[in-house]
């Protein structure tokens, strides 16, 4: 007959014998003051399955499954991203995203129905589009807010502290001005964008900080321009030769001029798209490195990013070609490859065991901004 235990736990043996705490090593044996890479434990095959089941269920439910599909995609990437051994997790559910998704569908339906109603003036569509344009910064801001609160690491969530005008000025107007000045102010705009993003995130109650040098951004810009000119030169030269010798080429290829020009223009468009992808990835890698290397959390936690612009550009180019030629069947593989390259070349240097963070009680808010941002293709590339 067993004796009545004094407390519920008395009867069960304590599995942890006490032992002295090892100095300077946290549970996973990470040494402090050393840069540790982030890990990505996902595989292309696992994501491939998730991706295609997403498409299948979306078709089956005539689109209603999309919020859940998005959640599964995000969870896959986040929870397989490990910082110091612990994965990030994404806590929003399909139901959270459903409201936003339904509203976006309703908005699209309204847009398509617009031309059929008489508002007393023409250009109702144009006004609708302008209104949507003004809504973008709102959507982006709300989306960042919603998603930050739903991303958690060891039970502390991130928080986004941005505002409508901050997002509008730094994430929309600044790059626009950068482009309008033919790129002269683009490095400045990039720096503003990167800084705004970095400075407005906090992990728990500790804000991120960032320090960068504007001249480094201009160096990145110059390198990108030189790369672009170099590649353009390599493309334009052969095309020039074809153009100059058009007649003999036509005879050799046995085509008429109409078809020839259609093909030439098509190829030219492809090359321009390729050049665009390469240039933007190269520049993005550089600015991401600059931002991450200058990032600090809680004063002493540092980060590092060692992306090679050329390697990233090459990955993006290969991915684009593969996606097109496989009719997007290989998209999951491409996505994983790109994400893995970014993740595994990002480092964190903790100065202690990272236990000092505490979550603050901030509400995530609704998901409408997130749904609008997804529909508009707005995204922050980190």
Partner 1 sequence: MKITGTFTPQKTSERYTAMLLVDEPNQPSGQLLLAIDRLEPVLAPVTITHVSAMMAGADWRITLAGRGVFTLSAPDLPESLTPLLPKGARRSSFVGLAERLRWRGMIVICMLIVASLIGIRAGLPAAGDYIARFIPIHWAKTAGDTTLSQLDQLFLSPSKLSLADRGRIDQIFASINATLPPDAIQPKLLYRSAPSFGPNAFALPGNIVILLDEMVEFANDDDVIAGVLAHEIGHVTNRHAMRMVARSAVIAVSVGLVFGIDDSFVEEMATLGTNLILSSHSRKFEREADKVSIQILQQLGRDPTSLLKLFDKFAAECGDGCNKTSFFDSHPGLDERRALFE
Taking CA atoms, 362 is separated from 94, 109, 153, 353, 370, in Å, by 20, 34, 16, 25, 17
Query: How many residues make contact with partner 1 (CB under 8 A)?
Result: 83
Helix 309-325 to helix 214-244 angle (10° resolution) is 50
141-160: which residues touch partner 1 (CB under 8 A)? 153-156
If you ran DSSP here, which 8-state letter would residue 31 be given? B
Q: How far apart are CA 134 and CA 152, in angstroms?
A: 31
- Stretch near partner 1 under the rule CB under 8 A, chosen from 174-182, 185-193, 213-221, 347-355: 347-355
**Shortest distance, position 5 Cβ to partner 1, whole Å:** 8
Q: How far apart are CA 107 and CA 87, in angstroms?
A: 36
Please tell me whether residue 354 binds partner 1 under the rule CB under 8 A.
yes
Please tell me whether residue 372 binds partner 1 under the rule CB under 8 A.
no
For the chain, what is the radius of gyration of the CA atoms?
26
Residues 6+ apart with CB under 8 A from 279: 224, 227, 228, 313
204-223: which residues touch partner 1 (CB under 8 A)? 204
306-345: which residues touch partner 1 (CB under 8 A)? 320, 323-324, 328-329, 331, 335
Residues 6+ apart with CB under 8 A from 334: 318, 319, 322, 323
Specify the residue, 235 or 331, whose C-beta has the smaller distance to partner 1.
331
| Candidate list 1, 23, 62, 182; residue touching partner 1; CB under 8 A | 62
Residues 6+ apart with CB under 8 A from 339: 40, 42, 77
Specify the residue, 93 or 293, whose C-beta has the smaller distance to partner 1.
93
Specify the residue, 2 or 237, whose C-beta has the smaller distance to partner 1.
2
Specify the residue, 137 or 204, whose C-beta has the smaller distance to partner 1.
204
101-130: which residues touch partner 1 (CB under 8 A)? 108, 112, 115-118, 122-124
Specify the residue, 118 or 254, whose C-beta has the smaller distance to partner 1.
118
């Amino acid at each position: 007959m067993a004796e009545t235990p004094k407390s519920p736990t008395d009867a069960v043996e304590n599995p942890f014998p006490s032992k002295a705490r090892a100095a300077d090593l946290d549970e996973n044996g990470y040494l402090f003051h050393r840069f540790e890479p982030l890990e990505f434990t996902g595989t292309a095959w696992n994501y491939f399955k998730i991706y295609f089941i997403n498409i299948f269920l979306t078709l089956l439910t005539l689109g209603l499954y999309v919020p859940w599909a998005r959640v599964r995609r995000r969870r896959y990437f986040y929870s397989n991203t490990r910082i110091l051994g612990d994965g990030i997790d994404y806590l929003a559910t399909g139901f959270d995203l459903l409201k936003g998704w339904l509203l976006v569908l309703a908005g699209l339906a309204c847009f398509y129905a617009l031309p059929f109603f008489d508002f007393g003036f023409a250009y109702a569509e144009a006004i609708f589009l302008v209104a949507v344009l003004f809504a973008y910064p709102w959507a982006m801001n709300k989306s960042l807010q919603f998603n930050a609160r739903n991303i958690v690491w060891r039970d502390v969530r991130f928080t986004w502290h941005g505002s409508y005008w901050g997002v509008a000025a730094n994430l929309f107007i600044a790059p626009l001005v950068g482009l309008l000045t033919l790129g002269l102010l683009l490095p400045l705009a990039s720096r503003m964008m990167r800084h705004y993003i970095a400075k407005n995130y906090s992990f728990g109650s500790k804000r991120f900080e960032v320090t960068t040098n504007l001249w480094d951004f201009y160096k990145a810009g110059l390198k990108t321009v030189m790369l672009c000119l170099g590649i353009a030169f390599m493309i334009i030269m052969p095309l020039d030769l074809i153009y100059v010798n058009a007649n003999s080429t036509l005879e050799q290829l046995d085509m008429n001029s109409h078809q020839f020009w259609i093909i030439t223009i098509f190829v030219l468009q492809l090359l321009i798209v390729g050049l665009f992808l390469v240039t933007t990835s190269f520049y993005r890698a550089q600015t991401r490195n600059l931002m991450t290397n200058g990032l600090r959390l809680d004063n002493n936690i540092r980060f590092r990013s060692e992306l090679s612009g050329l390697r990233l550009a090459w990955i993006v180019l290969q991915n684009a070609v593969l996606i097109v030629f496989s009719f997007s069947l290989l998209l999951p593989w491409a996505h994983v490859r790109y994400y893995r390259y970014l993740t595994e070349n990002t480092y964190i240097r903790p100065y202690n065991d990272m236990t000092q963070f505490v979550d603050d009680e901030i509400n995530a808010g609704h998901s409408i901004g997130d749904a609008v941002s997804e529909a508009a293709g707005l995204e922050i590339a980190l």
